[in-house]
Homo-oligomer: A and B are copies of this chain.
Amino acid sequence: MKLLEDRIRKDGKVFPGDVLKVDSFLNHQIDVDFISQLCLEWKRLYEGTEITKILTIEASGIAIASVAALHFNVPLLFAKKTKTVNISADVYTAKVESYTHKTTYDIIVSKEFLKPCDKVLIIDDFLANGKALEGLIKLCEDAGATVAGIGIAVEKACQRGGDLIRSKGYRVESLARVSSMSVEGGVEFC
């Protein structure tokens, strides 16, 4: 999506270690009118696909997923991160390795809010190694819900997480796919 690629070129900042910061408009300060346009693109891409719920993960996915839920006119559910292993009978859990923080954490959703009848659109701001996404997919599978699709704002295609998820048969719609980046040369898209 040219709109997002242009914005990343203009306002994104590349730091050593393949770190792309877009925190002026996507995941710290959020330009809600802009992310609303991203959500409308997912709405267009998933036209005709039945969606009953948007699922995301705290914290930085919540803003964009909220606006997506408004456009799709369905409830939003966000998976909570927890450091304590939660074996409550009331929740579905998955383990996620954090690429950024080099730790593992658990994510949980209440069983009450994810059902076999749900057709879930998973939304997140970033896709890198795909570990968070795998966790969210596992929550859906454990619930017997259908993953109707996945919407990602920025995919770091160089990290192969998206390819891995697609190879399992899931539809991943990333609005910008970064093929390479460097502090000197900036960001290149697929």
| Selected interface stretch from A43-51, A76-84, A130-138 | A76-84
Task: Count this chain's copies in the assembly.
Answer: 2
Which of B59, B73, B80 is within 8 Å of A78, CB to CB? B59
Q: Contact: A75 with B28, CB < 8 Å?
A: no
CB distance from A59 to the nearest CB of B (A): 4
The reply to whether A76 and B58 contact each other, CB–CB distance below 8 Å, is no
Q: Is the CB of A63 within 8 A of B76?
A: yes
Rounded to whole Å, the gap between the CB of A109 and the closest CB of chain B is 8
Contact of A62 among B33, B63, B80, B110 (CB under 8 A): B63
Q: Contact between B66 and A30 (Cβ–Cβ < 8 Å)?
A: yes
Are the CB atoms of A73 and B33 closer together than 8 Å?
Answer: yes
Check B70 against A30 for contact (C-beta < 8 Å): no
State whether A32 touches B113 (Cβ < 8 A): no
